[in-house]
Amino acid sequence: MQNIDTAFRYIRLFTIVIVFGAFALCLFVIYRSYILAATTQEKIYVLVNGKALEAYASDRKDNIPVEAKDHVRTFHQLFFSLSPDEKAINENLTKSLYLADITAKQQYDNLKEGNYYSNIISGNVNQTIRIDSVQLDLNQYPIYFKCFAHEQITRSTSIVDRSLITEGFLRNVSRSENNSHGFLIEKWKVLENKDVNIRKR
């Protein structure tokens, strides 16, 4: 009887240890699952040229300089990249005007009234832009920027290289399909747009 009683105690103790061990293991697995789920939710996979690249979520304040510079670059690329195609010009300019305030629209209206776009179409002129650098002053709001770029205007008889310097301010707005960075360019001015080299073709 003593052996049966001792064996029963051992079995009961062993069962209690197994139950508590299984309970602790379940708690550990649930805890690790929550951590893994939280970690995976911070990751975004972007498909680029058929390859999945991992992107990480972060606060906007960490990316303000990058996003602000890209916003300025995108605006200038759309506004100044022109081809002798009225539909392409209108598409680019419409997209660019979503990124800036009335000052960009006024610049566009001035160029249009001066038949700039008509001359590009009739003369089969191609205009491209290369952004050299964008300087930001993050110590003030709205954020001040200065953009340094080079334009290349290709005509049937010549290629003109131009130096372009612009400035303006960036204000925060809501992100949208037409304005993915959530900035709006204000008080935009062209400080310099002059020929630096002319080559015959």
Per residue in 44-65, pLDDT (tens digit) is 666 666 666 666 555 556 578 8
**Are 39 and 72 members of one domain?**
no
Whether 184 maps to a domain, the answer reads yes
Number of domains in the chain: 2
- Please tell me the least confidently modeled range out of 7-11, 65-69, 166-170: 7-11
Which residue is associated with the tokens 């310099």? 192
Does residue 185 contact residue 100 with C-beta atoms inside 8 Å?
yes
Residues 151-169, mean pLDDT to the nearest whole number: 87
Does 68 share its domain with 133?
Answer: yes
- Please give the angle made by the CA atoms of 71, 100 and 48, to the nearest 5 degrees: 30
- Cis peptide bond N-terminal to 142, omega within 30: yes
* Domain housing 8: 2-46
pLDDT at 18 over 70: yes
